[in-house]
A = this chain, B = another copy of it.
Amino acid sequence: MAKFMDVHSGFVGVTGSQLREAHDRDLAIEGEEGVHFERAWLDPESGKVFCLATGPSKEAVMRIHDRAGHPTPEVYEVSVEVA
């Protein structure tokens, strides 16, 4: 399993419940690709959303986001993590 960070743009003014709804659409189907979206963070001012996911490939992450209605080409495999 690899870890991925993806970035969405254009979510200006989106509320917490709208983000919850969008995230739930990912969670509902993610298992079909062996993906899990762990967490999502939104800056409603700039419209940026960051999603942290695990899964078998970048393409699998992209397919779930596509099908959930919020495609993004910006998916990074983050193979190194420090805390």
Binding site for B on A (CB under 8 A): 3, 5, 7, 14-16, 19-20, 23, 38-46, 48, 50, 52, 76-83
Contact = CB atoms under 8 A, between A and B. Distances in A.
A43 B77 contact: yes
Copies of the polypeptide in the assembly? 2
A52 B52 CA distance: 11
B19 A82 contact: yes
A78 B5 contact: no
Which 6 residue pairs spanning A and B have beta carbons closest together?
A41-B78, A43-B76, A42-B80, A16-B80, A23-B82, A39-B83
A39 B81 CA distance: 7
Contacts of A19: 80, 82
